[in-house]
Amino acid sequence: MNQRSILTSSAITALGLAFSLSNALAQTKSLKDQLVGTWTVISWEQTNKDGTKVQRFGANPKGVNMFDANGHFSIMFARPDLPKLASNDPTNPTPEEAKAITVGSVAYFGTYTVDEPTKTIMLKIESSSLPNQLGIDQKRVITSLTADELKYTNITAVANAGQINAVYKRAK
């Protein structure tokens, strides 16, 4: 082998080793560290106990889920087709507008913890546009987490509902 081939081979080997070490370090990050950031919703689907499926926020939901490093979160989901208020006054919607907005959106925030062994996120809701959520610790089981995608199942029962599966992509 000539000197140029040896240098090229050495450089390729060094780059490969650097990428391997980088991947190994990324894989040793805790789940909480991997969650931190802003995630935009791709899909949201509820499977009721009778097997029926509901897309409360439509086929192309809008939403965001933010986790900070200090254990705070905020979540907001909305249908893309929410009605505009005819009166342009948020304190004076028609009954139909109020119902569509109430059914087609939800927002809440609070604190969270992560149980690494069970891949579970526990949400303690401090405030919500749906007051019935207050005082209920909610559990999300992570089914998949990569640098760019988060999938979890909300197994906290709401009324007669079953589980909710949500998919997010990391906001850029």
Tens digits of residue pLDDT in 63-101: 999 999 999 999 999 999 999 999 999 999 999 999 999
Instruction: Report the alpha-carbon angle 74-78-83, nearest 5.
Output: 140
Q: Which two tokens stand for residue 96?
A: 């139909």
C-beta separation of 69 from 91 below 8 A: no
Residue 27, H or E segment? helix 3-27
**CA gap 164, 41 in Å, rounded:** 13
CA torsion angle 27 73 46 61 (round to 10): -100
Least Cα distance to 60 among 73, 74, 87, 41 occurs for 41
Q: What is the pLDDT of residue 78?
A: 97
Distance, in Å, from the CA atom of 18 to the CA atom of 24, rounded to the nearest integer, reads 10
Question: Does pTM top 0.85 for this prediction?
Answer: no
Domain boundaries, the chain: 1-29, 36-170
- Tokens for 116, please give them: 């690494």
CATH 2.60.120 fits 36-170, yes or no: no
Res 156: pLDDT? 74
